[in-house]
Chains A and B, each alone.
Chain A
Amino acid sequence: MLAVASSITRASVGVARWPTQSLQVPAAAASFSTTASRPKFSKGRRMFREWERRQGRSYRRHNDNATNYLTGRGGDRPFPLNPEFRSPRVLDEKARELVWEKVMREGETIKAVSAEFGIDIRRVAAIVRLKEVEKDWIAKNKPLAKPYSKAVLSMLPTHHINPNEQNAPYEPINEIHVHPYTMQQLFWPTSESRHFTREDAAKAFHPTLLSADKRVPHPELIQMEREVEQGRPVWEASERFKQAVMETERNAAEKQIAKAAHEEKQTTRVNTERFEFRFKQFNSENVGPKGRSRNVVGWRYGTPLDDRSKGHQIKIPISVP
């Protein structure tokens, strides 16, 4: 009642002041504007102030460790109109530290840690990478943004991991992209007696399409489950899983090393006093399908260069190595 009364007085005061205000305002406004701004609160604005003071008051300062979204305290939906977006949980400080320790101290493979805690492979790698930078900052006595970190993590839903315990997975780890080849409806007549597996289904969609068993990030997990199904003890199967995962990672590393070595073999380095020149063989006839492929050096005669047309003046890099 009191607040309503006060808002009314404010409004009436505004109305009373109108003539003097309109004389003063143009001096303060932009020179080209002849319209004075309205000194009165609009209804919407007034109602917003009212809401801000009453229901909206709890959103101003954040005090406890739970989320505080418009849809309710402790919930995970920031947007009332969009139920299809959920605020995902984030790993808390201890969980990140645990992941870093598993990988860097105990020497476990990234895939094994990913399977153990149910964290995406790329996320495990990212956590370790970021943690390494953090440790580096600590070693160099560079100040961390601790108060910021504490405040932000208290506003977000967090996921905690208990070491030496069975934990609920943090996120789905065996996701595959819905391939465009598989998004069409397909009529594929086969005989009834045929054993039509996922492999065959992939081939039916496209000859080069791999089956889901090969496209999942953790094919070793499927193998482990299969072994458990066949009667192997769980601990033995998990040991074999770790071995398999280590093998996979070693192969991937070897492949990367081989690629780097191949690249090195292709380049001729000439060291001068000031520069190191690197020469590589390129085919200028190779121009790509449209004559201006980004990855080639060639240029087909007659292809218009658009590097001076509008919108191309600023060269934004497409990758930062």
Chain B
Amino acid sequence: MGARLLSVVNMNTKYMATNDGSELAAGRGSGKDEPTNWESPRVQGRARTPYMQMTFAPMERRLDIAVFRAMFASSARQARQFCVHGAVKVNGKVVPYPAYRLNPGDMFQVDPERVLYATGLSKQPPKRSKQPSLTQEGEAIEEVAEAAAEESEVQAAEAEQDPDTTDAPEAAPVDMKPTQKQIQDLTAQAKAILKEPVSAARKRALRKFIQSARLLMSRTSRANASPTEITDELSTLVAELNLGVGKDDKPALKTAASADPIDSLTKSELKQLEQCIEEHMREDQENPYDPSKPYATPWRPRDYMAPFAFIPQYLEVNQNICSAVYLRHPVARKGFAEVPTPYPFEVSQLAFNWYLRRR
């Protein structure tokens, strides 16, 4: 691999069509040429092409780095592991070499299950500090609920019970975890309905329900909590909401939500609501609850993913099939470099001098 630092310039087609280049040479030295006035607002300021930021461009060609850059793994080391474990294919063939240097036009695929595991919320809840501050209370409750949900998942799997059927209030389990799960599920559904266009009164009722459910949730974690009592209370809450708890309460919830103000809705609104419900159902189907998966289900992205989310321009990624094409080598442009690096120009320059010029 040559150590040439690649850069490109964009050619203006209109300018090229009207000029053949001779205008730049015409009258030079005979007083015809005008020196550029850099103070003029119409003249764009000088911007350097950051060649030094391209020092580590050859690294971007590596298969493991490309997998990481395409956001299929949460770190370069994890991407490397995916390669070594045979989860990465290049042009349809398994390539177990993380150091394989991609050629322009190579398509690489990663096993979607691995990608979902790498980028999804983990099953184990993250360890928290013992004394959450006041501002964190809401999230702390969520955290507890999550932890409870994970544990209940394991237990549900052990008992070989479908978690959907345990939602029935008469089940009255001795352990609190299924109850917590139930409360949590109902809250999630209520929140989902809140996002849809429903009437203000309905929204108020839903919010009240969510609040009461939160109180109930905190009661479940007490030592003297009785599951039957809490389930009863929950069922009364649900009855108040006019939702009805059935074996398969999700569609019931939605139809009830739409059935109540159904007379006051116009046809177009009804259609919109139906579409909303359909979309929710589809989302549920795409992202189901599945305790057999190695990540938390329904799938959610990992914490702190957004501040690090970017896909460089030399890749074209299709997230649906967890595949990407390495289009070309990364290049520098006037003012910008395509190699992602957190370091400023000066640091990269030192690295360039050390690694490439010193050879």
Contact = CB atoms under 8 A, between A and B. Distances in A.
Interface residues of B, number: 88
B97 interface: yes
A213 B298 CA distance: 54
B59 interface: no
A284 to B, nearest CB: 28
A84 B336 contact: yes
Contacts of A144: 112, 286, 320-321
B17 A88 contact: no
B21 A133 contact: no
A62 B25 CA distance: 55
A17 interface: no
Contacts of B283: 147
A146 B286 contact: yes
Interface stretch (B6-14, B200-208, B213-221, B252-260): B6-14
A195 B319 contact: no
A122 B326 CA distance: 10
Of A53, A131, A178, which is in contact with the most chain B CB atoms at under 10 Å from its CB? A178
A153 B319 contact: yes
Contact of A316 (B97, B327, B340): B97
Nearest to B282: A146
Contact of A130 (B50, B97, B318): B318
Given A49-B129, A62-B305, A130-B325, A197 B20 contact: yes
B287 A176 contact: no
B103 interface: yes
B23 to A, nearest CB: 10
Interface stretch (A27-35, A217-225, A260-268, A302-310): A217-225
A82 B308 contact: no
A27 B309 CA distance: 41
Nearest to A59: B307
Given A81-B342, A87-B310, A147-B286, A60 B304 contact: yes
A19 interface: no
Contact of A96 (B14, B318, B325, B338): B318
B308 A78 contact: yes
A122 B104 contact: yes
B337 A145 contact: no
Contacts of A86: 336
Interface stretch (B132-140, B150-158, B239-247): B132-140
B53 A320 contact: no
Interface residues of A, number: 86
Contacts of A120: 327
Contacts of A224: 13, 17
Interface in B313-336: 313, 316-325, 327-328, 331, 335-336
B300 A129 contact: no
Contacts of A213: 16
Interface in A64-89: 67-70, 78-79, 81-82, 84-88
B299 interface: yes
Centre residue among B90, B309, B324, B338 by max chain A CB count within 10 A: B309
Interface stretch (A105-113, A167-175, A245-253, A291-299): A167-175
Interface string A228-262: 11000000000000000000000000000000000
Interface in B87-143: 90-91, 93, 95, 97, 99-101, 103-107, 112, 115-116, 119-120, 129, 131, 133-136
A119 to B, nearest CB: 10
Contact of A137 (B29, B321, B340): B321
Interface string A146-173: 1111011101100000000000000110
Contacts of A201: 21
Interface in A175-229: 175-178, 180, 190, 192, 195-201, 212-213, 216, 218, 221-226, 228-229
B342 A222 contact: no
A78 B343 CA distance: 11
Contacts of A190: 25
Contact of B325 (A54, A129, A216): A129
Contacts of B11: 174-176, 212, 216
Contact of B133 (A53, A122, A156, A197): A53
B105 to A, nearest CB: 7
B341 interface: yes
B344 interface: yes
Contact of A197 (B18, B21, B101, B106): B21
A59 B9 contact: no
B298 to A, nearest CB: 7
Contacts of A68: 306-307
Interface of B: 4, 6-14, 16-18, 20-22, 25, 29-30, 50, 53, 71, 90-91, 93, 95, 97, 99-101, 103-107, 112, 115-116, 119-120, 129, 131, 133-136, 283, 286-287, 298-301, 303-313, 316-325, 327-328, 331, 335-345
Given A126-B316, A177-B331, A197-B22, 8 more contacts: A68-B307, A81-B343, A84-B337, A88-B311, A90-B311, A155-B305, A156-B310, A192-B29
Interface of A: 2-3, 6, 10, 49, 53-54, 57, 59-62, 67-70, 78-79, 81-82, 84-88, 90, 96, 120, 122-123, 126-127, 129-131, 133-134, 137, 143-149, 151-153, 155-156, 171-172, 174-178, 180, 190, 192, 195-201, 212-213, 216, 218, 221-226, 228-229, 314, 316-321
